[in-house]
Amino acid sequence: MTKTIGLIVGSLRKASYNRMVAQTLSELDASIAFKWIELKELPLFNEDLEAGDGPEAVQVFKAAIQAVDGVIIVSPEYNSGIPGVLKNAIDWASRPSRSSVLRRKPFGLIGATPGGMGTVHAQLQTRHILESVQAQVLPFQKLLISQVHTKVDAEQHRLTDEKTKEYLQAYLQKFVHWIDHVPTLD
Ligand SMILES: Cc1cc2nc3c(=O)[nH]c(=O)nc-3n(C[C@H](O)[C@H](O)[C@H](O)COP(=O)(O)O)c2cc1C
């Protein structure tokens, strides 16, 4: 059956390299339906706003995660950590804590940076955070894209480096396999 994969970009920047990577990822396999799940409308997390159904943007965000078979996050790293907008989004999605849309949801993590460390710190932190809310993060795999500015066509908003596209393709295949094999134990 056709898999539906949500794409979350951890940068709000218009010319985001991570968005270019996500765009290219979304064009690699026509048999997969990709859905963009955006962060820019989410308010800052505040428990006071959780009364009732909560803010509409949050409801839309959670419903989008609920609707997909898995989510791939493509994110930069800020100051050796997870970007605030991404952490904010995860905090919203993690509620209510025992029955959140993140529970058992398969997640993949990809990151790109003009720097040399490929967002490794942010990815480790994001994995830790997602696992703490019982999301199912693809194990043993890291896709770290360094020197990303040398691997894109910025005007076309696409990643163009062939080797990196091969890594993306391989990651995607493993992620789709992971969706079908996530453990069902609590
Ligand atoms: C506040 C701030 C902190 C940053 N810290 C890091 C960092 O720790 N590691 C890193 O590789 N790049 C860091 N960068 C550079 C980002 O990787 C770079 O701005 C990147 O292009 C952001 O991703 P985007 O192109 O998807 O928006 C930082 C950038 C900003 C604005």
Q: Are 126 and 75 in contact (CB under 8 A)?
A: yes
Backbone angles phi, psi at 100, to 5 degrees: -75, 165
Cis status of the peptide bond prior to 83, with omega within 30 of 0: no
pLDDT by residue (tens digit) across 1-11?
899 999 999 99
Contacts with 77 (C-beta within 8 Å, 6 or more apart), sequence order: 83, 111, 113, 117, 119, 120, 121, 122, 123
- For residue 27, the SS3 value is coil
pLDDT by residue (tens digit) across 80-117?
999 999 999 999 999 999 899 999 999 999 999 999 99
Q: What residues are in contact with ligand 1 under a 6 Å CB criterion?
A: 11, 13, 16-18, 76-80, 113-115, 117, 119
Could you tell me how far CA 54 lies from the centroid of its own chain? 23
Which parts of the chain register pLDDT below 70?
185-186
Write the residue with the smallest CA distance to atom 20 of ligand 1. 113
Alpha-carbon span 174 to 168, nearest angstrom:
10
CATH second-level architecture of 4-35+67-83+103-180?
3-Layer(aba) Sandwich (3.40)
Write the residue with the smallest CA distance to atom 31 of ligand 1. 78
Write the residue with the smallest CA distance to atom 30 of ligand 1. 78
Write the residue with the smallest CA distance to atom 27 of ligand 1. 16
| Length reported for the chain | 186
* Mutation probe of ligand 1 site: the residue of 7, 18, 73, 78 with most atoms within 8 A of C-beta: 78
**What pLDDT is stored for residue 52 in this prediction?**
87
**What pLDDT is stored for residue 136 in this prediction?**
97
**What pLDDT is stored for residue 113 in this prediction?**
98
Q: What is the dihedral of CA 175, 146, 16, 2, to 10 degrees?
A: -10
Write the residue with the smallest CA distance to atom 14 of ligand 1. 78
Domain ranges of the chain: 4-35+67-83+103-180
**What pLDDT is stored for residue 184 in this prediction?**
75
| Cα–ligand 1 centroid distance for 170 (angstroms) | 25
**What pLDDT is stored for residue 185 in this prediction?**
64
**What pLDDT is stored for residue 186 in this prediction?**
62
Alpha-carbon span 63 to 83, nearest angstrom:
22
